[in-house]
């Protein structure tokens, strides 16, 4: 059993055969798929898909990718907050994280200050709602980690949120939980991420012959600090490289982790499931 913790199956790339894609994921032994929003429209689509799914197989997140950080408004965040509260009250618990959000100093055309503003707003919402954060980080290692640390228990922004809500931080709000999705930075930075208590999640990139440095990260990752994902439709693993990626292929990433860490596949799966359920509160 595995969970694809980061899939964009609401994208138009899956319009033709979404049902088959989901079925293949079930056949491949996946237990769940987390449909990750990365803009206002795709977040809405992810939530709709998760709500309509009656098998307890699809879950959703809401967020703005750093490419779309300029779209952040109080109105949008308030709307998401309403959705999350209603979802919790209904007992469905289908909206399970905030993101993907984060910082991208490599490709995003949005001004870094605006990106930081959006990232902060997302973390704030996550802390308030007691949900974890899915972080996209590209060429922004220290700023990403720094911001998350401010929101961790004892950090300045964390204290401010507790004060603003007038609630008892010890009982009512979780310190921020976060995953560096599609981990792609150095081993040295990964150590800092783990030390701060955050998770790393691996995609099919670790199966690419050129990804030697990343496999060093996999080799060293503590057993309780990793999850797996596809980031589909992008980044198909080596066995399907160049094609559209889909959730069932996440097995290939787990197999590579088993190989690199010298573990049995079933032990990796067991560990991944434990980590994933703890992280998302399944
Ligand atoms: Zn993504």
Helix (H) or strand (E) holding 161: helix 156-165
DSSP 177: -
- Give the CA diameter of the chain: 53
Are 217 and 200 spatial neighbours (Cβ–Cβ below 8 Å)? yes
- Tell how far the Cα of 203 is from the centroid of ligand 1, in angstroms: 10
- Tell how far the Cα of 97 is from the centroid of ligand 1, in angstroms: 13
State the Cα–Cα distance between residues 197 and 191, nearest whole angstrom: 10
- Tell how far the Cα of 7 is from the centroid of ligand 1, in angstroms: 7
- Tell how far the Cα of 10 is from the centroid of ligand 1, in angstroms: 12
pLDDT tens for each residue of 248-279: 999 999 999 999 999 999 999 999 999 999 99
- Tell how far the Cα of 253 is from the centroid of ligand 1, in angstroms: 16
Tokens encoding 106: 């490599």
pLDDT at 227 (0 to 100): 98
Q: What is the mean pLDDT of the chain?
A: 94
- Tell how far the Cα of 9 is from the centroid of ligand 1, in angstroms: 10
DSSP 206: G
- Tell how far the Cα of 87 is from the centroid of ligand 1, in angstroms: 23
Integer distance in angstroms from the first to the last C-alpha of the chain? 14
- Tell how far the Cα of 160 is from the centroid of ligand 1, in angstroms: 30
Count each helix (H run) and each strand (E run) in the chain, helices first.
11, 8
Whose tokens are 């967020």? That residue is 63
- Tell how far the Cα of 8 is from the centroid of ligand 1, in angstroms: 7
Q: In what order do the strands lie in the sheet with 178-180?
A: 2-7, 30-36, 58-62, 95-104, 133-138, 178-180, 199-202, 226-228
Whose tokens are 């080596």? That residue is 238
State the Cα–Cα distance between residues 176 and 127, nearest whole angstrom: 6
- Please choose, from the candidates 195, 202, 184, 189, the residue with its C-alpha nearest in 3D space to the C-alpha of residue 272: 202
> Helix (H, G, I), strand (E, B), or coil: what is residue 213?
helix
pLDDT tens for each residue of 87-103: 999 999 999 999 999 99
- Tell how far the Cα of 11 is from the centroid of ligand 1, in angstroms: 11
pLDDT tens for each residue of 168-195: 555 555 678 999 999 999 999 999 999 9
pLDDT tens for each residue of 101-114: 999 999 888 999 99
pLDDT at 16 (0 to 100): 97
Is 106 exposed, middle or buried (CB count within 10 Å of its CB: 0-12, 13-18, 19+)? exposed
- Please choose, from the candidates 103, 133, 119, the residue with its C-alpha nearest in 3D space to the C-alpha of residue 36: 133
- Tell how far the Cα of 232 is from the centroid of ligand 1, in angstroms: 7
- Tell how far the Cα of 171 is from the centroid of ligand 1, in angstroms: 32
Backbone torsions φ then ψ of 270, nearest 5 degrees: -60, -45
State the Cα–Cα distance between residues 282 and 131, nearest whole angstrom: 11
pLDDT at 158 (0 to 100): 76
Residue 18: how many CA atoms within 13 Å on its side-chain side?
15
Angle, to 10 degrees, between the axis of helix 156-165 and the axis of helix 141-150?
40
- Tell how far the Cα of 180 is from the centroid of ligand 1, in angstroms: 11
pLDDT at 110 (0 to 100): 92
- Tell how far the Cα of 162 is from the centroid of ligand 1, in angstroms: 30
Q: What's the whole-number mean pLDDT along residues 220-245?
A: 97
- Tell how far the Cα of 165 is from the centroid of ligand 1, in angstroms: 31
């Amino acid at each position: 059993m595995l969970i694809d913790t980061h899939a964009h199956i609401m994208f138009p790339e899956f319009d033709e055969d979404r049902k088959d894609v989901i079925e293949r994921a079930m056949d491949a032994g996946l237990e769940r798929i987390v449909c990750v929003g990365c803009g206002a429209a795709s977040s809405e689509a992810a939530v709709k898909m998760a709500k309509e799914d009656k098998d307890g197989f699809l879950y959703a997140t809401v967020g703005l990718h750093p490419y779309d950080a300029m779209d952040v408004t109080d109105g949008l965040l308030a709307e998401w907050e309403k959705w999350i509260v209603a979802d919790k009250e209904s007992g469905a618990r289908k909206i399970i994280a905030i993101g993907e959000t984060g910082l991208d100093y490599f490709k995003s055309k949005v001004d870094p200050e605006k990106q930081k503003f959006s990232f902060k707003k997302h973390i704030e919402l996550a802390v308030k709602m007691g949900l974890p954060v899915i972080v996209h980080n590209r060429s922004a290692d220290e700023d990403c980690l720094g911001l998350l640390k401010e929101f961790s228990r004892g950090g300045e922004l964390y204290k401010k949120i507790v004060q603003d809500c007038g609630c008892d931080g010890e009982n009512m709000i979780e310190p921020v939980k976060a995953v560096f999705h599609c981990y792609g930075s150095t081993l040295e930075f990964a150590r800092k991420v783990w030390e701060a208590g955050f998770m790393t999640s691996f995609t099919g990139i670790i199966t690419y012959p050129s990804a030697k440095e990343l496999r060093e990260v996999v080799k060293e990752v503590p057993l309780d600090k990793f999850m797996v994902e596809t980031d589909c439709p992008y980044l198909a693993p080596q066995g399907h490289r160049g094609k559209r990626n889909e959730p069932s292929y996440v097995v290939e990433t787990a197999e590579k982790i088993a190989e690199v860490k010298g573990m049995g596949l079933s032990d990796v799966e067991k560990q991944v499931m434990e980590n994933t359920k703890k992280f998302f509160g399944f």
